[in-house]
Amino acid sequence: MKSVNFRLVGLDSKIIPNVFVDGQVVNCKKNEFGSYEAVIQTEKDEIEVAISRELELKSKLWWLYALVSFIVSVFGLFNPSYDRKCFSIDCLFKLKLSEENNILKIKFNNPSSSGKAFTIESGCCHEEIKNEYIIDKVAKRRWTALLIIKILVWIGLAILIGWIIAKQIG
């Protein structure tokens, strides 16, 4: 049985990646330095690793979660903000394993719409299939719509409070 020491380094704190090895989900644990680590056990000589990021604004019930969190967080005051750039990660590569000392370190670059998402540091041979950040247009439109709605709600609340104060005085 071969094992791979797997480490994701350099990710932004807002980015939580989904890691799949040969179609199976790998549970990575975050260490004290902010990088993700896992140990992968396999019998195969070659594994396929996919790393992705699912945005909350891309899910089916995004509007319900956004509404509930907006109300519970006192109209957005204590609500953590969404990533306004709406970057998704689309990475896929194959890794040929050796008999021992399989260490895989993936260093992520700063998110940008051009260029590579990561670089691989490994003693094993690897073949990159996909390696990019993608701006998710659907999530970006939904983020803009949420921002406009939040601004309109705050303006409406200010008008309502002003009307109540004016009614109390006059």
For 4-40, write each residue's pLDDT tens digit.
Answer: 888 888 887 777 888 898 888 988 888 888 888 888 8
Domain extent for 61: 2-169
Q: How distant, in Å, are the alpha carbons of 87, 102, 109 from that of 35?
A: 19, 18, 13
Task: Answer positive or negative: Cα dihedral of 109, 115, 116, 117.
Answer: positive
- Model confidence pLDDT, tens digit, residues 49-75: 899 888 888 888 988 988 888 888 887
Q: How far apart are the C-alpha atoms of 13 and 128, rounded to whole Å? A: 25
Q: Quick one: pLDDT at residue 63? A: 87
Please say whether the beta carbons of 43 and 9 come within 8 A: no
Please report, for residues 4, 82, 165, the alpha-carbon distance to residue 125 in angstroms, rounded to integers and kept in the order given: 13, 37, 70
Residue 100 pLDDT more than 80?
no
What is the pLDDT at residue 136? 87
pLDDT interval class at 101 (50, 70, 90): low
Q: What is the pLDDT of residue 155?
A: 95
Residue 97: predicted pLDDT: 84
Residue scoring higher pLDDT (83 or 145): 145
Number of domains in the chain: 1
Residue-wise pLDDT for 128-166, tens only, equals: 898 888 888 999 999 999 899 989 999 999 999 999 999
pTM: 0.76
